[in-house]
Structure 1
């Protein structure tokens, strides 16, 4: 039965974390800055917008609408992000076009840390049209996922990696857990391609090492600009871009294992080795004292070009 004032009830799936706690039963809210797109979808583009939405969808349009997306107001909705099935997103070779996909998680890779401490995680996802590998970075890679989760991820694009198409997220991508009856009821099929992908395999047993000698420590000022990748200041400036504004300190420690192998650990891995959240970066001597006090250090890690990765202190 429709209200006497002529308004109609609607169901809104809210994926904006800042709004979730705002909604309570029988509470009246005013959402400003709504934008109509594709005739049936409403978006909140900015919580600071002063104009109101006048759009009122018909019942027929509401029946057709499978999702009402409210992206975070701090990240503008990409105009090129189009809702697509996985098969369509993987077929689009235009890297400038972004897709929004809704899919079921059928495989979760271990989180890996690559150069400069960047967190990376891969998801094997599936919908009614097929499957895809989707690569996540930074905060999205830090989140926990499990098989059976249904996710909606925006601004992903097709990329070839080792001659295989996959979906890759970008800085403006947003990922949320959603509900979908169609995907909930879909059986998760074993995808052989994911089992053969090394990103989805559990890390192999890595050997243990013991550090009993510190060669030297290096506390230095790194450039804050991401393009410079923590380049060490020389003569109080970044040698790549000339920046002089960084006040941050970081470090590296060069060590020798009991077997005579010389290895280097940067700040995050030094913290892992020492099991410390904070390092003494006031000077080289302060850091050296902190490291020596922890000797001997037994740990497992991968060594890439002489640099420690994914350290786990015993």
Structure 2
């Protein structure tokens, strides 16, 4: 007999949650279908594969819709979820087993809450112009080029852009990929330990990482929130690569030429829009964290 949940959550009728589940699966198929087709064909994509390689959530789990913490699924069909991790029965149906989830992930939930809350408390910085991607290609040595793609300005032109700008990347998971020559040009020295104190809402990588925190909190995160975070990460990834030194015209992407005033303005406008979208999602993720921890 599965353990009983200790709280009295909101109960979703089977017709309602089945409809939400179907909507989620159809929405995620927008990305999962093309990704599956590429894998079957042995093809790669320099922009979109990042969402499935750098980020580690398997496509099968992305298709799974969850109601999230505080909600129970009614109806006989919900019983199949008793075989899913962190689900348990109540008198009204099946939902998240908060106690079991926190038993395994309490420290992770607390760390994510601290990171997201700290990021939300800071003003966004919008003067980096995506130069992290350029510093990842600055005077590369053997093995330091991550993507076999042509450069819009060539190697000398790419190096010149880095040398003529102030590089100020605050995100450890961008900075750690800088070349050995590029890392000293950064004005900041982000580390994993300082990440909760350095991440800020204007950073494209911090915004993309909202998707990571959503799946790290799964199944406590509602499927709709996970999908919103994934969609934002996909949009941000596109800007990140369009503003990079790579020539992606063969893949249908026009450049955001951040080496020009017009390109900088285009980048900052998009960056501000993503920061606004990310701020809303960050607060929703914080609500999940706090409901988990406060309701324990």
Does the pair score TM above 0.5? no
Indicate the structure with greater strand content: 1
TM-score, structure 1 as length reference: 0.24
Q: Which has the higher helix share?
A: 2
Structure having the higher Rg: 1
Higher relative contact order (CA 8 A, sep 6+): 2
